């Protein structure tokens, strides 16, 4: 059955339109609450959010939905997505909810759901919730309606937890670190966690006003932090996204270090200590061929999944891996959490910087990336990838790159966009292949 509400990472859309209205949010609360009402105990859901203006509306609607079917609600206020996964487990909750559209602009919002184990829901669980959303809600008697409360110590709990991800003998004294929180969910906790470990912290993107999340700051808008790192002569820059589940690093020269290089570093250091599980790393089809070759040179594997950190995590659980992620910056370290955590990954990078004594530009240049180009083609309707002329151009490109590179073409799971990515040893050939496919898609669309 086709999905109506859930995409690759929960439910997401422009607020007060489509799937992201107060009415839909209340139905999600009622359906998800009903789905997780199991056993005779008092049921509980933890709800967190980022700093979007619409978070108030979505939160209130979810609270109404959950309490109407008999669930108690605990609200944390703005916290990173991984903090909600953590608190769901720690507070023995039946369900966790994060209200966020991640790196999207403030006009969008989303709803991410976690099970009692702190992991994102399976496709089957999401489909079961969608089925319940189409039915009349199972409202409880007046005396069974749930209660709602806010907790004040959630930030401190999370900071304490992420600091446990580095060894107790590690201190960041002497490090000057620029931390860009994208005016998002980590605007308090990430700078505080790094400062508590001894670093001099220069914080930016820490003045959320409800409408400036991800605007010209954060992991998807790096010009500001690059300039700040160079201006301040900082040792390193840490850029998070709106819900702080992804990380991009800036070295002391102002250059970008993406998720592939970060995964390569973390996996290599764990492997040297004998602590890398699964014999390699799990990443998506978008990760650079250079990472794959680097890991192969160390006798390690790179297992690829379709795009989406949930699919990376599923394969990690199946194969017993403890390092995985996405080139875009999702870092999943299952020794320390159940979902991507940009702050934990940042602390691991900073710890490596301290132990190595090397500058970030040297430490974080793990491999030479293969020339890779990604272009997006926006379309207004239909299914351009099913067009015969588009398929013919793609087939020709695949034949041209065979043995010399890779081609990945996919529709976005969150917006009407076709993503065309190619990589290979010949940069000119890669660009020509991508441009031909994009032109064919535009013509078909």
Cα-only R_g, the chain? 22
Structure tokens at 64: 């109404």
| Angle formed by the axes of helices 154-163 and 81-90, nearest 10° | 100
Helix (H) or strand (E) holding 12: strand 11-14
Structure tokens at 312: 């990376």
Secondary structure E strands in 278-371: 280-284, 301-305, 323-325, 331-333
- Considering the candidates 54, 68, 100, 102, report the single residue annotated as catalytic: 102
Phi–psi pair at 250, nearest 5 degrees: -115, 125
Task: Decide: residue 135, CB within 10 A, 0-12 exposed, 13-18 middle, 19+ buried.
Answer: exposed
CA distance 409 to 434: 10
Cross-strand bridge partners of residue 13: 109
Nearest 5 degrees, angle CA 212-CA 215-CA 220? 140
Assess whether 102 carries a catalytic annotation: yes
Q: How far is CA 191 from CA 85, 100, 170, 304, in A?
A: 20, 20, 17, 33
CA distance 325 to 332: 5
HSE toward the beta carbon, residue 33, CA cutoff 13 A: 31
SS3 content of the chain, % helix, strand, coil (to 5): 40, 20, 40
- Annotated catalytic residues are 102
């Amino acid at each position: 059955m086709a999905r109506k509400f859930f995409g690759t990472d929960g439910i997401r859309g422009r607020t007060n339109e489509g799937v992201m209205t107060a009415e839909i949010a209340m139905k999600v609360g009622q359906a998800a609450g009903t789905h997780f009402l199991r056993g005779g105990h008092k049921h509980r859901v933890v709800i967190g959010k980022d700093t979007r203006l619409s978070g108030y509306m979505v939160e209130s609607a979810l609270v109404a939905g959950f309490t109407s079917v008999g669930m108690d609600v605990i609200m944390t206020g703005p916290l990173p997505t991984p903090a909600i996964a953590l608190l769901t487990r720690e507070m023995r909750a039946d369900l966790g909810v994060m209200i966020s559209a991640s790196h999207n602009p403030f006009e969008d919002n989303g709803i991410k759901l976690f099970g009692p184990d702190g992991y994102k829901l399976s496709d089957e669980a999401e489909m079961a919730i969608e089925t319940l959303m189409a039915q009349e809600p199972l409202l409880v008697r007046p005396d069974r309606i749930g209660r709602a409360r806010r907790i004040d110590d959630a930030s401190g709990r999370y900071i304490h937890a992420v600091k446990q991800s580095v060894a107790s003998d590690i201190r960041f004294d002497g490090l000057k670190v620029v931390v860009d929180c994208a005016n998002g969910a980590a605007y308090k906790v990430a700078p505080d966690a790094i400062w508590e470990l001894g670093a001099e912290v220069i914080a930016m993107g820490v003045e959320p006003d409800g409408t400036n999340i991800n605007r010209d700051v954060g992991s998807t808008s790096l010009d500001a932090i690059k300039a700040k790192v160079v201006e301040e002569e900082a040792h390193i820059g840490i850029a998070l996204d709106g819900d702080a589940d992804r990380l991009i690093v800036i070295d002391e020269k102002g250059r970008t270090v993406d998720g592939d290089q970060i995964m390569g570093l973390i996996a290599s250091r764990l492997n040297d200590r004998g602590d890398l599980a699964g014999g390699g790393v799990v990443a998506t089809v978008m990760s650079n061929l250079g990472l794959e070759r680097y890991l192969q040179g160390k006798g390690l594997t790179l297992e690829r999944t379709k795009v989406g950190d949930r699919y990376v995590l599923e394969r990690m659980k199946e194969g017993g891996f403890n390092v995985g992620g996405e080139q875009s910056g999702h870092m999943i370290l299952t020794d320390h959490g159940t979902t991507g955590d940009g702050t934990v990954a940042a602390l691991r990078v900073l710890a490596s910087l301290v132990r190595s004594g090397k500058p970030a530009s040297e430490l974080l240049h793990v491999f030479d990336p293969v020339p890779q180009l990604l272009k997006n083609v926006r379309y207004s309707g239909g299914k351009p990838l099913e067009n015969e002329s588009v398929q013919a151009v793609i087939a020709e490109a695949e034949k041209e790159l065979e043995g010399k590179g890779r081609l990945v073409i996919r529709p976005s799971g969150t917006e009407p966009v076709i993503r065309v990515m190619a990589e290979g040893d010949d940069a000119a050939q890669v660009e020509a292949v991508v441009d031909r496919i994009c032109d064919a898609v535009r013509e078909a669309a």
